[in-house]
Amino acid sequence: MKDIFWCKNCLVMSTRPRVTFDEKGFCSACRWVEEKEKLDWKKREEKLIQLLDRNRSEKKQFDCITTVSGGKDGSYVTYNLKNKYKMNPLSITIRPITETKLGIENLNSFISKGYDHVLVSPDSEAMRKLCKLGLTEMGFPYYGWLIAIHTAVFRVAVQFNIPLVFYSEDGEVEYGGDAKNKHNGTYNIDYIKHAYLEGGYQKILKKSGLNERELYWFKFPKEDEIKKLNLEITHYGFYENWDPYRNYEIAKKHCGLKENETLNDGSYTNFSQTDQKIYLLHTYFMYLKFGFGRANQDSCIDIRRGSMSREQAIHLVNMYDDMYPEHLFEEYCEYYKMNMKDFLENIDKWANKDLFEKKNKWVPKFKIK
């Protein structure tokens, strides 16, 4: 407990995986905000245009792939690539688990604005097994889906012969983590396995006992397929100063995005991560393992963009971060095919005993400073 601290500028906690802090006590995400003020964004846009021009083709139907859920970021990226840069993107969605009505409506609204779109629905039982293993072996409730938003997208890229794939932003750089790619426009599959899949990819696939057919959408294409395609993977956020709230405004105006009528559980916002109910469990596990939840993440973004003070953020995090999604526990148990006893014991297994103590539920021992 004595070694725990928070960023002096925002509320990033020292427990966050892969985060670093400078001599001022600023986290890597806040340092990145300072660095972005000095970046030559015109040069970065020139790099984007060169990348796009290399992949424009009159012979092929699609120039690039974008990953979308119907939410703010993927919609914003796709809108810009099609309308600002005159590309022909193919948008791909990996069907989320525990879909919400709002998520389905937002995705349909996005598609109706004139975007080519593919919905990939991997074997639901294989998905469930991988997600359950993620829950029990890594404390990562939607791990199977997280795998597929990379592996299945690259499968489609190979099938359609589309060598350029856009994701939205590099969360490691923008929100505090491994910033080694902050000056690299493209990245490789090894980085995905290390940073986004947190090193558990091979272990979970092996432990699943699933056969090759069942694992098709959850395995990366073969190395020679990737090499033949000359696949380039990039984040659109590399090429411009990333602003999630601006993305929301553009997606709302041009892609039909709707927000929740009430606040998102666990935060003071209502417009992001609204497509699947399992996200509440994901942020709860994040809170239990590391001590920060959804409100902390949202407020850190707002502090860095200058729309909130650190004092306001502390107040909001104290109000909302300790979110306990008990009202969805039965639905989660039904999805994972677990009884409630095993489900609750798994929660207890992943609670960080240095940070929390068990009363009626797990409560923090720490107080944000």
Q: All domains of the chain, ordered by start, with CATH? A: 41-238 (3.40.50), 265-364 (no CATH)
pLDDT of residue 186 exceeding 80: yes
Residue-level pLDDT at 58: 79
pLDDT in tens, 296-320: 999 999 999 999 999 999 999 999 9
The three-state DSSP-derived secondary structure of the chain is: CCCCCECCCCCCECCCCCCCECCCCCEHHHHHHHHHCCCCHHHHHHHHHHHHHHHCCCCCCCCEEEECCCCHHHHHHHHHHHHCCCCCEEEEEECCCCECHHHHHHHHHHHHCCCEEEEECCCHHHHHHHHHHHHHHHCCCCHHHHHHHHHHHHHHHHHHCCCEEEECCCHHHHHCCCCCCCCCCEECHHHHHHHHCCCCHHHHHHHHCCCCCCCHHHCCCCHHHHHHHCCEEEEHHHCCCCCHHHHHHHHHHHCCCCCCCCCCCCCCCCCCCCCECHHHHHHHHHHHHHCCCHHHHHHHHHHHCCCCCHHHHHHHHHHHCCCCCHHHHHHHHHHHCCCHHHHHHHHHHHCCCCCEEECCCEEECCCCC
What pLDDT is recorded for position 272? Answer: 87
The pLDDT assigned to 180 comes to 82
- Give the residue-averaged pLDDT of 100-104: 96
pLDDT at 1: 63
User: What confidence tens digit (pLDDT) does each residue in 196-217 have?
Assistant: 998 899 999 999 999 999 999 9
Which whole number is the average pLDDT over 59-69? Answer: 93
What average pLDDT does range 51-59 have in this prediction? 90
What predicted TM-score, i.e. pTM, was given to this entire model?
Answer: 0.94
Backbone torsions φ then ψ of 97, nearest 5 degrees = -85, 155
109-148 pLDDT per residue, tens = 999 999 999 999 999 999 999 999 999 999 999 999 999 9
The per-residue pLDDT for 68 is 96
Mean pLDDT in residue range 11-16: 96
End-to-end alpha carbon distance in the chain: 13
